[in-house]
Amino acid sequence: MQTTHVTTAKTMIVRLKIWRQDSPKDAGRFEEYTMDNVLIDMSFLEMLDELNEKLLKEGKRPVEFESDCREGICGTCSLMISGQAHGPIRGATTCQLYMRSFKSGELITIEPWRARAFPVLRDLVTDRRAFDRIQMAGGYTGAKTGPHADANAMLVPKDLSDRAMDAAACIGCGACVAACPNASASLFTSAKITQLALLPQGHPDRKRRALRMVAQMDKEGFGSCSNLQECEAACPKRISIQNIAIMKQEYLKAAISADYREGLGDADA
């Protein structure tokens, strides 16, 4: 016997205003698209996939956007949706956003992250390697060679490891920069600095890390933090600006410390 599942799928009309830009040098412009019969339980990125299918069928260039894991952990998707980084839901990435969060017929504006340090490559895709360079400037720990130490040889208080883990939840998506009215990268940089500063493994490089990562952040052309906390509101991992306060302490301590001289290398701790 054959069973049939009859579902009355709810659909909606989606009106989109999307930033189109052919190349980094192109001035770019908005283009509008309308899609009928979009399932309300479709994810936002699936809706864009459908739009691209439609554009391909029409022989047009699809809208370029980034995504990878589509489960909120990789930090690749990055869309400014109607003026909010990752859309209207707090604590979620664009890929965790569903069409049921929008009204049928509502005009949805989609833009790339806007920052000098994140130049647009095409449409909604930006070059976010500035974050990689900040990370490379000091967001790592030194490791000794030789035999493995016992995994639990180094004691870490639970509360500190919890706070370090909260900071380590940063997926580097760039929503903090995108949402900040000053395009500041303070939340990202501070999360990376704090995560390692709180743990004993991060201590040998602590001062060098704070000085170099902040210097790289400034060099990339990000704006200056004015404590608006919009980054924390936009962060899909809800990283606290407390990390920025810790970064301020770490940087000041490193800047006035006589133990460590930038450029000479290894006088640390």
Partner 1 sequence: MVSLKQLFSSSLGRKYLMGASGLALVIFIILHLLGNLTLYAGHGEPMNTYSARLHSLGMGLIIAEVGLLLTFVIHIIAAIQVTMTSKNARPIGYASTETKGGPTKNTMTSRNMIVTGLVLLLFLIVHLKQMRFGPNVADGYTASLEGVMVHDIYRVVVETFQDIKWVIFYSASMFFLGFHFRHGFWSAFQSLGAINPRWSKPIYAMGLIIALLLTAGFFFMPIYIYATQGGAS
Please, which residue, 37 or 224, has the CB nearer to partner 1? 224
Number of C-alpha atoms within 13 angstroms, CB side, residue 68?
8
Q: Is 32 in the site for partner 1 (CB under 8 A)?
A: no
Helical pair 242-256 and 206-219, crossing angle rounded to 10 deg: 110
Q: How far is the CB of 212 from partner 1 (least distance, A)?
A: 11
Residues of span 210-229 touching partner 1 by CB under 8 A: 211, 214-215, 217-218, 221-229
Residues of span 70-99 touching partner 1 by CB under 8 A: 80, 82-85, 88, 90
Q: Is 129 in the site for partner 1 (CB under 8 A)?
A: no
Structure tokens belonging to residue 186:
């303070």
Please, which residue, 142 or 181, has the CB nearer to partner 1? 181
Binders of partner 1: how many residues, by CB under 8 A? 59
Q: Is 233 in the site for partner 1 (CB under 8 A)?
A: yes
Q: How far is the CB of 105 from partner 1 (least distance, A)?
A: 18
Q: Choose one: 35-43, 69-77, 93-101, 182-190; the region binding partner 1 (CB under 8 A).
A: 182-190
Residues of span 190-209 touching partner 1 by CB under 8 A: none
Q: Is 244 in the site for partner 1 (CB under 8 A)?
A: yes
Candidates 11, 15, 17, 204; binder of partner 1 (CB under 8 A) is 17
CA distance 75 to 188: 12
Amino acid sitting at position 7: T
Q: At which residue do the structure tokens 């956003």 appear?
A: 97
Please, which residue, 14 or 214, has the CB nearer to partner 1? 214
Candidates 60, 103, 116, 129; binder of partner 1 (CB under 8 A) is 116
List residues binding partner 1 (CB under 8 A): 17, 30, 80, 82-85, 88, 90, 109, 111, 114-117, 179, 181-184, 186, 211, 214-215, 217-218, 221-230, 232-234, 240-242, 244-249, 251-252, 254-262
